[in-house]
Amino acid sequence: MGKYKILILLPLFLFALVISGCSSNSDDKSSNDKEINDEVSKDNPSGDLAPLEEKATVVIAEDGSASGAGFYIAKEKGYFEDYNIKVKFAKFANSDDMLPALASGEVDIAGGISSASFFNAIAQGINVKIIADKGHNITGSSYFSFVIGEDLQGEIKEYSDFEGKRIAVSTKNAVDDYIFQKMIEHAGLTEDDVEFVLMSDFGNMLASIANGSIDAALQIEPLITQGIEEGIHVRFGDTTDYAPEAQIAMVLGSPNFINEEKNVSLRFMAAYLKGVRDYNDAFIKDEGKDEIIKIMTEHTSLKDAELWEKVSVTGLNPNGEMFVDDIKSQYNMYKDNGAISGELDFEKAIDTSITEKAVELIGKYEQ
């Protein structure tokens, strides 16, 4: 009977060894699959990285904002397709819904606006990665800047002349508030020296300046240009006078997408940056502008091609670089205001490795 048991157990033991060996080989293959395939060849459709062997779908949370230009251009010009990537755009009612979806991997890529609620979500356990630039002001031509009533040009000539004036800002403890704080500090004023008017709707700012209920506003394009053309307001200085490196929006990545699907995320980032570079060629170097404006009118709420020739556009860094110190400065302001609960580990939250690797492979854009 003992011999019989041994004969039964021996094949089971051998079977277990075979299974164990197969499992080990499978794990090795899985591990190899996660290594970045970064061999570059001019013979590839992209001119650099080879396309993925199997088509990958990347879901982007995007609402048609102008700062999503890199995504739209890369899609329409076939840069994603060159890598065998298909992109899908998903809309969310608000960023509060978007962040959990991003952290869970339901969404792969999204855009984040600097705010206390954004930093709070990360500090309290929502795991997303800040990976690249998605919006800043261009020096001397900010798309997000202060305007004053046209009839106040003779009265408000210096930043210090904002004393006693009613100034509309769209949010508290977000990048708008941060820029406002930087402006009054630059003016040598305090919050008590001006009347802060919280006004969430930029369209209402335009109407309120027109009827004289406010004197100034931190306004955004294309309403800045619209108000100028209608004789309602004029630009007052430029945001880069006092906040030259304000990081307004960032590209965010799902941890799974960035860490577990590196072959996909690397190619995604390379395609995105190519789109951003075409955007810069168009609006900074005036090269191929008609094609890019056509794409922007298709994907954003600004449908007037002629207006695209006049507005101050969102700044997008063609190498994906962010003003990291400014992100930390904004966080510290919100924390000092008591709007942040918990601590944010920036070493974990900011991960630019995929962006830097993509630039290494496709080459640095010289501005």
- Tokens describing residue 274: 């190519």
The confidence band for 281, taking pLDDT boundaries of 50, 70 and 90, is very high
Phi/psi of residue 115, nearest 5 degrees: -160, 160
First to last CA, the chain: 83
Q: How far is residue 141's CA from residue 283's CA, in Å, rounded to a whole number?
A: 12
CB atoms within 10 A of CB 263: 19
pLDDT value, residue 260: 86
The confidence band for 15, taking pLDDT boundaries of 50, 70 and 90, is very low
* Pairing label, strands 233-235, 195-198: unpaired
17-36: per-residue pLDDT in tens?
Answer: 333 333 333 333 333 345 67
- Tokens describing residue 207: 């109407």
187-233: per-residue pLDDT in tens?
Answer: 999 999 999 999 999 999 999 999 999 999 999 999 999 999 999 99
DSSP 8-state symbol, 342? S
42-88: per-residue pLDDT in tens?
Answer: 999 999 999 999 999 999 999 889 999 999 999 999 999 999 999 99
CB atoms within 10 A of CB 23: 10
pLDDT at 149 over 90: yes
pLDDT at 1 over 60: no
Q: How far is residue 47's CA from residue 9's CA, in Å, rounded to a whole number?
A: 57
Output the pTM of the full model: 0.88
Q: How far is residue 170's CA from residue 154's CA, in Å, rounded to a whole number?
A: 26
| Residue among 220, 315, 305 at smallest CA distance from 276 | 315
Is the bond preceding 45 in cis, omega lying within 30 degrees of 0? Answer: no
pLDDT at 162 over 70: yes
pLDDT at 4 over 70: no
Vertex 326 angle, CA 322 and 331, to 5°: 120
CB distance 209 to 149 below 8 Å: yes
Distances (CA, A) of 13 to 6, 8, 17, 20: 10, 9, 6, 10
| Residue among 91, 69, 59 at smallest CA distance from 249 | 69
pLDDT at 367 over 80: no
pLDDT value, residue 17: 32
Q: How far is residue 90's CA from residue 111's CA, in Å, rounded to a whole number?
A: 12
pLDDT value, residue 93: 76
Chain mean position to CA 80: 18
The confidence band for 342, taking pLDDT boundaries of 50, 70 and 90, is confident
| Residue among 331, 282, 315, 348 at smallest CA distance from 178 | 331
Q: How far is residue 305's CA from residue 315's CA, in Å, rounded to a whole number?
A: 19
For residue 40, the cross-strand partners are 49
CB distance 270 to 282 below 8 Å: no
Residues 6+ apart with CB under 8 A from 145: 137, 218, 219, 224, 235, 236, 237, 238, 239, 312
